[in-house]
Amino acid sequence: MIRVVVADDQTLVRSGFALILGAEPGIEVVAEAVDGAGALAAARHHLPDVVLMDIRMPGMDGIEATRHITSSPITAGVRVLVLTTFAADDYVVAALRAGASGFVLKDTEPADLVRAVEVVAAGEALLAPEVTRRMLDRFARAEKAVLTLPPLTQREHEVLVAVALGLSNLEIADRLVVSYSTVKTHVSHLLTKLEARDRAQLVMLAHRAGLGG
Amino acid sequence: MIRVVVADDQTLVRSGFALILGAEPGIEVVAEAVDGAGALAAARHHLPDVVLMDIRMPGMDGIEATRHITSSPITAGVRVLVLTTFAADDYVVAALRAGASGFVLKDTEPADLVRAVEVVAAGEALLAPEVTRRMLDRFARAEKAVLTLPPLTQREHEVLVAVALGLSNLEIADRLVVSYSTVKTHVSHLLTKLEARDRAQLVMLAHRAGLGG
DNA sequence: ACCCGCCTCGGTCTGGAGAGTGAGAACCCC
DNA sequence: GGGGTTCTCACTCTCCAGACCGAGGCGGGT
């Protein structure tokens, strides 16, 4: 039996979801909440499998409540399924950062809502297709932003990584088991190839290229 | 009518998927391919709505083929739904970077596979629950990884940002309209506070703290 | 009035960074 | 064998980075 808490400030919406879920044989709605604080309290008290959380609520909003639930050891294991009307980017990202396990739109078919609850209760995550598309776009854009480095030799690449870690030439020499002079040669080549002036710019470029975390 | 190309090197698997999809009223399998090159050729020739793409294939693999399909203007609009046995992180990330619109596991129920094809054909994106979970974890980890800096004064913060950009002390002095000596003082304080040895480490720490892009 | 933190500036001194040059060894390709 | 690239190492020289010192102005808090 999947135990669910439904949190939404709009009575009609909340009742509707509770009815839909309650009608399902394997699902039981153990509590309802009208704001974030209530949702948090219900989560702590009932320790449900899933909290169906609206984002826009008076007082503590759904994002904040989600953050508390997912970060508190007391409510560890309680999954949050976020509900919203629009798939606005800011909401999605904020909800994901807050630790939400799912993101579904309010115009979802009842059957899909039930399925989403079941999936999330099983420990999986699920996003509405529109939301997934937006996330993938973000992913793609984030990846395109990285700097592409000119072709570097194997050794130069290793030295660049070491430089990006903040190591001195002497430390790099020790790390790669070569002489101090050799390291300086490689660094000098890197400065030329990457059109950098000093190792500080080298560190910057390496990080922008995704080499240093 | 949704037109689909099925690409998989394993004959049984390929035929199975083609049968499942072909049996659906709204779906038509227009071509099959046994490797990445064949998938790419079929995509260019038939311009299907969806290419069902296996990752592991001889010669050009599914990732590479996906990259070609999504980046070529000829096959613009052709969606790629990636199929795999395991939700290995590297595969997922690589597929997403390559521009895949979906990611489903081979043990998916036939009905869910059909649904995935329909969703992807509609221009949306869809990920298998396990895959979504992994992506969310990545998201969460990427956010948690940022370094928290010790309290810095306003001026120190400005100098740190400038250092992170790769500027020299003289350039920073010009940028902030102060003397060279003043910049050195601030930098020296930064080195002490952040427990860094030189400005290279300062650049690294600044980037890890999310100050430099 | 006093203290304290921040910002400002100047001085000296040491060490490492980086430029520039030359050169030997290993490897691959034609 | 000759030409190319890469990796290796050494030497000189210049210059900035950074440590360390002191000091004045300015604002807030006791």
**CATH code at B86?**
3.40.50.2300
Residues A88 and A182 in one domain: no
Q: How many CB pairs under 8 A join A and B?
A: 104
For residue range B141-196, list pLDDT tens digits in order: 665 556 677 888 999 999 999 999 999 999 999 999 999 999 999 999 999 999 99
- Asked if the structure places residue A152 within a domain, the reply is yes
Last residue of a domain, one of B98, B130, B162: B130
CATH assignment of the domain containing B195: 1.10.10.10
Residues B14 and B109 in one domain: yes
Residues B11 and B112 in one domain: yes
CB B14 within 8 A of CB B6: yes
Alpha-carbon torsion, ordered B11, B13, B15, B18, to 10 deg: -140
Neighbours of A74 (CB within 10 A): 11
Per the structure, the count of domains in chain B is: 2
Residues B101 and B18 in one domain: yes
From first CA to last CA, the distance across chain B in angstroms is 45
Residues A114 and A161 in one domain: no
Cα–Cα distance measured from residue B34 to residue B12, given in angstroms and rounded to the nearest whole number: 11
Residues B125 and B148 in one domain: no
Q: What local confidence, expressed as pLDDT, does residue B201 receive? A: 95
To test the contact with chain B by mutation, choose from A136, A168, A205 the residue with the greatest count of B C-beta atoms within 10 A, namely A136
Nucleotide lying nearest to A159, CA to C1' measure: D7
Cα–Cα distance measured from residue A66 to residue A76, given in angstroms and rounded to the nearest whole number: 12
Last residue of a domain, one of A101, A130, A159: A130
Asked if pLDDT for residue A140 goes beyond 80, the answer is no
Residues A17 and A97 in one domain: yes
pTM (2 decimals)?
A: 0.62
Asked if pLDDT for residue A150 goes beyond 90, the answer is no
**Does the nearest atom of strand C lie within 7 Å of A111's Cβ?**
no
Residues B110 and B178 in one domain: no
Residues B12 and B60 in one domain: yes
Q: Which of A62, A59, A52, A61 is closest to A30 using CA atoms?
A: A52
Residues A42 and A119 in one domain: yes
What's the CA B150/C1' D13 distance, rounded, in angstroms? 40
Residues A121 and A153 in one domain: no
Q: What local confidence, expressed as pLDDT, does residue A34 receive? A: 94
Kindly give the parts of chain B with pLDDT less than 70: 87-90, 139-147, 212-213
Q: Which nucleotides of D are covered by protein (CB under 7 A)?
A: 5-11, 16-22
3-state class of B14 per DSSP? helix
CA-nearest residue to B79 within chain A is A133
Parent domain of B171: 143-208
**Does the nearest atom of strand D lie within 7 Å of B93's Cβ?**
no
Last residue of a domain, one of A77, A103, A130: A130
Residues A100 and A43 in one domain: yes
Asked if pLDDT for residue A100 goes beyond 80, the answer is yes
